[in-house]
Every structure is written in C-alpha cells, then in structure tokens.
Amino acid sequence: MQALWAEHGFYLWALTTALVLVALVWLGWNAFVQPSEAETEETAEAVPDSAALAQQLSELAEGVPLMQASLGRTLQFVGLERYVDMTGAPAFALAVANGRGDGFVLSSSARGGLTAKPLRAWNSTVVLSAEEQLAVTQAREQWV
C-alpha cells in the first residue's frame, strides 16, 4: 500500500480534489440558477386558491372547541411551597391542577412521608395544611 501511495499518491490527491471542486461547482450552480419558465408555472399551479384556503380555515375552526376541551383537562398549573416541618426537616407541598382547578396536592414531611390529596375546583375534600393551601394559591394565581 505504501508503494502504491508513494508512486501514485499525488495523482490520487489531485483526482479527489478535482472531484470535490466539480461537486461544489455543481451544487453552487443549482442553488443560484434562476428557475425555468416550466418550473415557475408548476409552482404557480401548486399555490392553493382562495376556496381551498377557506375550506382549510373552516376545518381548523371546527376543531377549536375540541382542542380547547382537551387543553382544559391537561395538568398545567403548578404551585410549590418549600418549608421546614415541626421536626426541623425540610418539606414541600406541590399543587398540580388543570384549567378547571382539578388535580392533586402532594406533600412530604419527615414524619408523614409523602401524601396526596385531591383537588376539585381549587378546593379539596380533605383538610389542607397552611403550606398546602399556599401551594394551591400559587397554582391558582397562574390560572388567573
């Protein structure tokens, strides 16, 4: 292999360089050349008319209520309150809710572990601690 490279290396290098230059010129020519009349007519025919655009717009408008209903069910509002519990250990309360105020409150503490409480319309059927209520308030402030 070294004998081949020693004897013909310069010619291989020159051939490779020439091929690269030809490829670059070809790419440059195709990128900056003006389109022919046939190509411009094809693209003009591809542009949709106003009736087709109106049809697409009405189809999108029909889908808006479904999208809004789906978005209302997604969990999108978050409130986080970090505090120190009665034992001196770090704790947190995390409220996560959707657009209707339905969701849950997660709270952790050293003595109680991790607990979850349900939320319905920004209220809970279970009594919330002050820190949990602050987390719900933070989440609700994002909603408004």
pLDDT for the residue numbered 72: 66
- 84 vs 90: CA distance, rounded Å: 5
Residue 46 within a domain? no
Residue 56 within a domain? no
Residue 53 within a domain? no
Q: How many separate domains does the chain show?
A: 2
Q: Which of 26-40, 50-64, 67-81, 117-131 has the highest mean pLDDT?
A: 117-131
Residue 8 within a domain? yes
pLDDT for the residue numbered 35: 64
pLDDT for the residue numbered 105: 94
Q: What pTM did the predictor assign? A: 0.53
Segment 5-23, tens digit of pLDDT: 778 777 877 888 888 787 8
Residue 50 within a domain? no
- 5 vs 79: CA distance, rounded Å: 69
Residue 93 within a domain? yes
| Domain carrying residue 107 | 75-143
- 82 vs 19: CA distance, rounded Å: 65
